[in-house]
Amino acid sequence: MPQHLFILTGASRGMGYAIAEQLLQSGAELLCISRNDRDELDAVAAQHNATLSQWRADLCDASATAERLRAWLHEKTAAHYASVTLINNAALLPKIAPLRESSAADIALTLRVGLESVMMLTAAFLNATQSWTCPRNVLNISSGNGRRAMASQSIYSAVKAGMDHYTRCVAEEEKLVTNGAKLCSLAPGIIDTDMQTHLRDTDPAKFPSHQAFVEYKRDGHLLTPEAGAARVLAYLAREDFGVNPVADVRDA
C-alpha cells in the first residue's frame, strides 16, 4: 500500500507534538525535526506500525538540515508514496517588547527559526520531490498576528507576514510546473501551549494586549494542542487545500 509521507518541524511539544501523534496514529511515515526528540513518539509509531525518524536540529541555522532533507528525499522511492507533505510548524516568540527594546540577537533568532529555515526547508523539499508524481503539499503554520498589527509583536508578526507572502509567491511558481506542489500558510487558531504561557507571563507594561491573552485562557477560548492539531490536519485533508495560499482553519 502506498504510504503518506510527512516531514514536520517542531514536533517535540505543543501543537507539533499533537500533529506528530495524530499522523503516526493514521499509519503515516513521519520525519520530525526539532532540537529535542520525544521517546513517546517512538512508542506511538510502534503501536501503529508507522515509520518514524527524529532528527535533532537547531533551525536557527537550517542550511545543513535543508541539505540533509534534500539528500534524504532523493534516496526515497517516490513510487512508494501516495502523497508527500512538508509541515513547517516550528517557531518561537522573542522577548515580548517594543522593537526599540529588542536585541539584535533576539530579532535574528526569531526570523531565522520562523522564516529563514522555513524557506530553506521548502526549497529543499520542492527541489527533491519535483519529479514525484504523487500529490505534493507544503503546509506553513502561520498566525493571525501576521495579518493584524499588534504592539510589542513586530518580530513574530513579521515572521508570519513573511511566511504568508512567500507562500503566495511560491504557489504561483508551482502552478507553472508539472504536478506543482500545493502550498498554504494557515493560521491555526489560539492553542494552549508554551507560546500562550509566554504571552501571559509577559510584563503587562511591555505588552498592551496582555489582558486579552489572560482572558482567552480564563474564558476557555484556547484549543487544546490535540484539538488544534486535528483542525490543522482536517484543513490539510480538504479537497481545496492550496486553492487559497493564505488561509485560516476557521475559514468555511
Ligand X SMILES: NC(=O)c1ccc[n+]([C@@H]2O[C@H](COP(=O)([O-])OP(=O)(O)OC[C@H]3O[C@@H](n4cnc5c(N)ncnc54)[C@H](OP(=O)(O)O)[C@@H]3O)[C@@H](O)[C@H]2O)c1
- Member of 85, 89, 122, 137 binding ligand X (CB under 6 A): 89
Measured from the CB atom, is 81 or 192 closer to ligand X?
Answer: 192
The angle subtended at Cα 228 by Cα 223 and Cα 229, nearest 5°, is 155
Residue 224 lies near ligand X (rule: CB under 6 A) = no
Q: How many CB atoms lie within 10 A of CB 210?
A: 18
**Which residue type does 76 have?**
K
Q: Minimum distance between the CB of residue 109 and ligand X, rounded to whole angstroms?
A: 7
Beta bridge pairs of residue 139: 87, 184
**Ramachandran angles phi, psi of 187, nearest 5°:** -80, 130
Residues 130-169 that bind ligand X (CB under 6 A): 141, 143
| Residue range at the interface with ligand X (CB under 6 A); choices 20-28, 128-136, 174-182, 191-199 | 191-199
- Member of 3, 13, 78, 165 binding ligand X (CB under 6 A): 13
| Residue range at the interface with ligand X (CB under 6 A); choices 32-40, 100-108, 119-127, 203-211 | 32-40
User: What Cα–Cα distance (Å) separates residue 121 from each residue in 12, 99, 163?
Assistant: 18, 28, 13
Beta bridge pairs of residue 140: 88, 185
Residue 186 lies near ligand X (rule: CB under 6 A) = no
Residue 122 lies near ligand X (rule: CB under 6 A) = no
Grid cell 534534500 is found at 70
Contacts of 181 (CB under 8 A, 6+ apart): 125, 126, 129, 136, 137, 138, 170, 174, 242
Measured from the CB atom, is 81 or 143 closer to ligand X?
Answer: 143
Residue 34 lies near ligand X (rule: CB under 6 A) = yes
- Member of 31, 90, 119, 184 binding ligand X (CB under 6 A): 90
Interface with ligand X (CB under 6 A): 10-16, 34-36, 58-60, 89-92, 113, 141, 143, 188, 190-191, 193-196
